[in-house]
Amino acid sequence: MSRAGSSILSSEPGRRLIVLACLSLAGCGFRPLYDDRPRGEGLPAAQALAATRVATIPDRQGQILRNAIIQRLGNGPGVAPRYELHVALTIRRELLGVRRDETASRQRVSATADFTLRPLRAGDPVFASRAFAVDAFNITPNEFFAAQLSGEAAEARVAERLAEDIVAQIAAFYARGTSRT
């Protein structure tokens, strides 16, 4: 292969094309989601996330989900809460595979989280949505504790996915600037 045809970067027109593409992207309005610069009248997304308090979610799985959400929100000391997140969690386990002796060989864990975001001062919800996550695990015959640990790990993975989805949806809501202070 010739040297001239080996790369678009090796030619002057190719370099100009790349510089032109980069300059055009800079003017399209792209803005990082967690940018700290103010936008309109709302709080910047990162500050608004940190100012979001998570209400208690019942049961052990609810607490695992709540902790995962708090970790992603970036709540810390000295940040005054302005919003409260309420989450209703539903977890369902479903047997998928059945062996010849009629015992289950695989189980699916699915979880749905309906959530609403409310101002800390009394008021109507400013945002409501739903997140959904699924995971599965194998059930090894005659190994009860291994199956129990696999189930708990699958539920933890589901909680992590739900937390990521919930925080991403809330961050997108804040970034749109629809939350007014």
The tens-digit pLDDT sequence of the chain (181 residues) is 455 555 555 567 767 777 666 656 555 555 554 554 444 444 577 777 888 888 899 999 999 999 999 999 887 677 788 888 999 999 999 888 888 887 778 889 999 999 999 988 877 888 999 999 999 988 888 888 888 898 899 999 999 999 999 999 998 888 887 544 4
**Among residues 37, 47, 129, which one has the least CA distance to residue 88?**
129
CB neighbours (10 Å) of residue 35? 12
CA distance linking residue 48 with residue 176, whole number of Å: 12
Please, which residues bridge with residue 83 across strands? Answer: 52, 119
| Spatial CB neighbours of 131, under 8 Å, sequence gap ≥ 6 | 112, 113, 115, 162, 165, 166, 169
* Segments of the chain assigned E as strands: 52-54, 83-98, 104-119, 127-138
pTM, full prediction? 0.71
| Three-class DSSP category at 20 | helix
Query: CA angle, corner 120, sides to 43 and 129, nearest 5?
Result: 75
Q: Residue 104, CB half-sphere, CA atoms under 13 Å: how many? A: 13
CA distance linking residue 72 with residue 50, whole number of Å: 9
Contact 52, 171 (CB under 8 A): no
Please give the structure tokens belonging to residue 21. Answer: 């593409």
